[in-house]
Amino acid sequence: MSAMPGVTKSGVRDVAVVAGYELGESLRSRRVLILALLFVGGAVAGTLAFVELLESLEASLAEALAVADPGKPGAVTAALMQSPEFLRMLGRLVRDEALARELAGLPPLALFYGWLGLTFMPVLVMLTAAETISAELGSGSARFSLLRTDRLSFSLGKLAGQTLLLAMGIASGALAVWVTGYATLGSFEASRSALWLGLLSVRIGVYSFAHVGLAVGLSHLTRSVPLSRALALGSLLLLGALWGIGRYNDVVREHAPGFADTLLAIVPRSHMLELWQPTLVDRLPALVVLLALGVVYFALGYNYRARRDA
């Protein structure tokens, strides 16, 4: 009785067990499947739209210059991106010459993928991870797990599961973009594009992790699934508003610069541009801060729930 052979227990092992089950169940759930299809479908559709735009721009350019239509799109744009005029324009836009050179040096498709991921991944994360904890608290099914592991391991397992899900979503999105680009773009640099899609995927992953932490953290605050979804989406709007205030509100910037800087520090979006920096040393502060923000958002939500009944 109760001397069950082969019993091994540790917090790290519990986190891994919860994460593995969370990932498996999320992949099997219809809602996440639909959202994944939306992301991959969105990546493909976005890439096709991007390619079509390039095609149309290059055809117009060829017509204006009275040269032959270049056929498959991409080659002219790639050459255009290396022109001094384009570099100057980009430099003015991002206010950083080194960054402008880095961006101009990217394969166009990778540049587009980076923009797509950084813009839409947070929204998808909020939709998929918002009810991670709240649904289990609401139905009471968390009790079956919490009888077998401590609350921190359970919550960390959920966070890890959602992070793995995010990684799979980003990887499948990158693959979809690469395949679409390979099939439709002329002068497609297959290996260089693959490398850049991979590198940018890591940055998108870190940026999105801040949002996973936020969504899972918020999910601790309520037992209601609709409320946790509303909190998640509402928090995106709130963070957007805080970013706008911190960055563009002259009154706040003039009279309370410290407050404005603090607002910018706690909003993931403020650190987005730094993710494009050419060297790891320049990118590292943003990567570290984004990871820390994810952990802090999660910890705040966990701390609220840890002191309450399951």
Place of tokens 């910890």: 299
Which tokens hold the place of 287? Answer: 């990567």
For residues 203-222, which are near other proteins according to CB under 8 A? none
# binding residues, other proteins (CB under 8 A): 33
Cα distances from 45 to residues 38, 50, 131, 179, 223, in angstroms, run 10, 8, 28, 12, 36
In the complex, the smallest distance separating the C-beta of residue 168 from other proteins, rounded to whole angstroms, is 18
Report the residue from 132, 149, 208, 270 that binds other proteins according to the rule CB under 8 A: 149
Please give the single-letter amino acid code of residue 11: G
- CB-wise, 24 or 198, nearer to other proteins? 24
- CB-wise, 1 or 280, nearer to other proteins? 1
Closest residue by Cα to residue 126 from 303, 268, 304: 268
DSSP H/E element including 303: helix 280-306
- CB-wise, 5 or 84, nearer to other proteins? 5
Q: Is 140 in the site for other proteins (CB under 8 A)?
A: yes
Rounded to 5 degrees, what are φ and ψ at 51? -65, -40
Q: Is 9 in the site for other proteins (CB under 8 A)?
A: yes
| Residues 16-35 as x/- pattern, contact with other proteins by CB under 8 A | -xx--x--xx--xx------
Buried b (16+ CB within 10 A) or exposed e, 257-270: eeebeebbebbbbb
CB 203 within 8 A of CB 114: yes
Gap between the Cα atoms of 109 and 182, Å rounded: 10
Cα distances from 236 to residues 24, 151, 246, in angstroms, run 27, 27, 15
Report the residue from 6, 250, 279, 280 that binds other proteins according to the rule CB under 8 A: 6
- CB-wise, 28 or 95, nearer to other proteins? 28
Report the residue from 153, 162, 219, 222 that binds other proteins according to the rule CB under 8 A: 153
Mapping DSSP to helix (H, G, I), strand (E, B) and coil, where does residue 102 land?
Answer: helix
In the complex, the smallest distance separating the C-beta of residue 7 from other proteins, rounded to whole angstroms, is 4
Q: Is 1 in the site for other proteins (CB under 8 A)?
A: yes
Gap between the Cα atoms of 248 and 177, Å rounded: 34
Q: What is the DSSP string of 202-232?
A: HHHHHHHHHHHHHHHHHHTS-S-HHHHHHHH
Instruction: Give the interface segment with other proteins, choosing from 56-64, 94-102, 145-153, 267-275 (CB under 8 A).
Output: 145-153
In the complex, the smallest distance separating the C-beta of residue 119 from other proteins, rounded to whole angstroms, is 30
Q: Is 150 in the site for other proteins (CB under 8 A)?
A: yes
Report the residue from 38, 62, 146, 299 that binds other proteins according to the rule CB under 8 A: 146
Neighbours of 188 (CB within 10 A): 19
In the complex, the smallest distance separating the C-beta of residue 209 from other proteins, rounded to whole angstroms, is 24
Q: Is 11 in the site for other proteins (CB under 8 A)?
A: yes
| Residues 63-82 as x/- pattern, contact with other proteins by CB under 8 A | --------------------
What is the contact surface with other proteins in residues (CB under 8 A)? Answer: 1-2, 4-9, 11, 13-14, 17-18, 21, 24-25, 28-29, 136, 139-141, 143-150, 153, 309-310
